[in-house]
Structure 1
Amino acid sequence: MVNKKLVITQNLSETLSKQISNVIPDWELIIGRDKEIWHQHILDADVIAGWKKDMKDLITESSNKLQWIQTWSAGVNSLPLRQLEEKKIQLTSANGVHSYPISETIYALMLALTRKIHTYVKNQQSKTWHHSNMKLEMHEKTIGIIGVGAIGKETAKIAKAFGMHVLGVRHSGHPTEYVDEMYTPDQLDQLLPKCDYVVVTLPLTNETKHMITSKQFSLMKPSSYFINIGRGEIVIESDLINALKTHQIAGAGLDVFTTEPLPKDNPLWEMDNVIVTPHTSGSTEFYDKRVVEEIFIPNLKQYIEGQPLSINVVDYKKGY
């Protein structure tokens, strides 16, 4: 019997490694973030957990026996999806592990902008005691959540603690708990004028790329705040910068950008009405544990039993 091989390109704790090993005791297990650990094993791996851009040329070679890739990220837009689909490689994402940390970041940004925390932090650095015209409240305002998946649902749930009116956008348009009104993507322009906060939680696909342009910013309230924790290319960044400069919107909290790291000459760094975070909204102490225990191991058990994978299976045609 030929041994099967699992390559995990992450540094896992002994506890998590043992949990995986217990499921597949007869498999060869390669675990480690360092490229030197996993690189030579890619061509004969049956399963890979953790996508690395250096794998692209290797996994598209006809000689490999790869059957399944589990990403360590929710987004899969950086993977060669067309080639993977052609080779009939199953793909599962880490979608869902981020709902707690990202929703916390969303509200950290919303509260900071509303209650001028970002301004007061700057004032503290210069020992400046100034009111800074702080007057806004977040309670009972309207939030528009563009992308009501796991993150969007958790964001909507928290919004209800603030007594907010929740509008949502999802592809199906189907209603869900905590969302008062649901819209489809083609109805986005109807939603935007109603919102005090617009939160983007979408993945990057052909359909969502440049979904937010100068037209959408012109429809938003001058008092509204824009939060993007999805992907930078969902927005035309130059249009966002112009909307901020001309006060079409009040401010923005941004965790994702068209180019990352954000170039030092990008004007977003210098804007007083913008908070920049370095694509860290999904970071959490429980990240690996959730990917392994909630997604990978349940799917792995199905895989070795010859059953279809059921958690976070990527639809190649949709791109997520």
Structure 2
Amino acid sequence: MQKRKIVITRKLEQNHIEQIKKVIPDWELIVGKDKDIWQEHAMDVEIIAGWTKGLEEYCLDPQSKLQWLQTWSAGVDNLPLDGLELRGITLTSANGVHAYPISETIFALMLGLTRKIHTYVRNQQTKTWHHANMGLEMHDKTVGIIGVGAIGKETAKLAKAFRMTVLGVRNSGMPVEYVDEMYTLDQLDLLLPKCDYVVVTLPHTKKTHRLFGAEQFSQMNPKAFFINIGRGEIVVEDELVRALMEGTIAGAGLDVFEKEPLSAESPLWELENVIITPHTSGSTENYNKRLIESILIPNLKAYISGGNPSINLVDFSKGY
């Protein structure tokens, strides 16, 4: 009798492999990033953890035995969602794994812009001793968190250490701890003028595509900073550039872009009121550990017990 199979398209440490084997001792576990490792199993595998290039042709094949796909990322906008839904494949994401590292990056960007760290780093390279008109501080300011999921909640919690007023946006509009006022997405125009910092942590969906453009930047306080660690497609990039160059907003901290890598021709590289990071806000030494122990293994236990994986279950109708 053929063993049931799970493919994990990632390089894992042996202790993590052993943790997974304890849950499914009778299964065949295939682990590795290279296509040569998983390709021969792709059609008869029951579970795949980690999306990678080349999987689509197997996952969407009518003869595929795939039942459940666990992504290795929080975002699922790069997956063939319509095809997966049509085939009835259960999809779960890695949402929540990034809460600590991304919230740290958010505050690094906010503090960097506020205290002009990026300007001083440039000055250091030219041995320039200059005040750079330092004067702002973060304490007692107002931050708007656009997307109060796991990352947004952790960001709100950290903001309270700076005695900040926290405004939040979530689809339900329901209150969340550490958030002083909650809004819905169609109330952005009410929230934006109140903020000294606007932090975007939204997933990219049909509803959030190009959500931030000239109109939204014009609604912001001209002294406010814009932080985007969600997805680049949420922002109309050329309109952001214009807002930064014309002083419509004070500055931006950007980890994501419409097209990645960011083109060398992009004006964003040269703007002095911008800090750029190369889509690394979620990078952390603890990524695999958190994903495996907090998401994959609990979901796997539910699956082999005859239930459905429920942690980070993706709603195809919402796109996240």
TM-score between both structures, scaled by the size of structure 1: 0.99
Q: Percent identity?
A: 66
Query: Which aligned segments of 4 or more residues in structure 1 are displaced greater than 6 angstroms?
Result: none
Deviations 1:268-292 (A, max 9, x none): 0110000000000000000000110
How far has the Cα of 1:33 moved from its partner? 1.3
Deviations 1:109-130 (A, max 9, x none): 0000000000000100111000
- Equivalence for 2:311: 311
- Equivalence for 2:111: 111
Does the alignment pair 1:20 with 2:23?
A: no
- Equivalence for 1:139: 139
User: How many angstroms apart in 1 are the aligned matches of 2:76 and 2:286?
Assistant: 21
How many pairs align? 320
- Equivalence for 1:5: 5
User: How many angstroms apart in 1 are the aligned matches of 2:251 and 2:202?
Assistant: 20
SS at match of 1:37: helix
Q: Which amino acid aligns with 1:258?
A: E
Does the alignment pair 1:64 with 2:64?
A: yes
User: How many angstroms apart in 1 are the aligned matches of 2:170 and 2:23?
Assistant: 36
- Equivalence for 1:210: 210
Does the alignment pair 1:289 with 2:289?
A: yes
How far has the Cα of 1:38 moved from its partner? 1.2
User: How many angstroms apart in 2 are the aligned matches of 1:119 and 1:268?
Assistant: 15
SS at match of 2:22: helix
Q: Which amino acid aligns with 1:223?
A: K
- Equivalence for 1:38: 38
User: How many angstroms apart in 2 are the aligned matches of 1:303 and 1:319?
Assistant: 22
Q: Which amino acid aligns with 1:183?
A: Y
User: How many angstroms apart in 2 are the aligned matches of 1:40 and 1:222?
Assistant: 56
User: How many angstroms apart in 2 are the aligned matches of 1:40 and 1:278?
Assistant: 34
SS at match of 1:260: coil
User: How many angstroms apart in 1 are the aligned matches of 2:52 and 2:309?
Assistant: 22
Q: Which amino acid aligns with 1:270?
A: E
SS at match of 1:54: coil
Does the alignment pair 1:185 with 2:185?
A: yes
How far has the Cα of 1:45 moved from its partner? 0.6
User: What 5-or-longer segments of structure 2 have no aligned partner?
Assistant: none
Does the alignment pair 1:229 with 2:229?
A: yes
Deviations 1:224-282 (A, max 9, x none): 00000000000100110000010000000000000000010011011000000000000
User: How many angstroms apart in 2 are the aligned matches of 1:281 and 1:24?
Assistant: 33
Q: Which amino acid aligns with 1:231?
A: R
- Equivalence for 1:298: 298
SS at match of 1:187: helix
- Equivalence for 1:276: 276
How far has the Cα of 1:2 moved from its partner? 3.0
Q: Which amino acid aligns with 2:34?
A: D
TM-score between both structures, scaled by the size of structure 2: 0.99
- Equivalence for 1:73: 73
Q: Which amino acid aligns with 2:161?
A: A
How far has the Cα of 1:162 moved from its partner? 0.1
User: What 5-or-longer segments of structure 1 have no aligned partner?
Assistant: none
- Equivalence for 1:89: 89
- Equivalence for 1:48: 48
How far has the Cα of 1:88 moved from its partner? 0.4
User: How many angstroms apart in 1 are the aligned matches of 2:39 and 2:260?
Assistant: 25
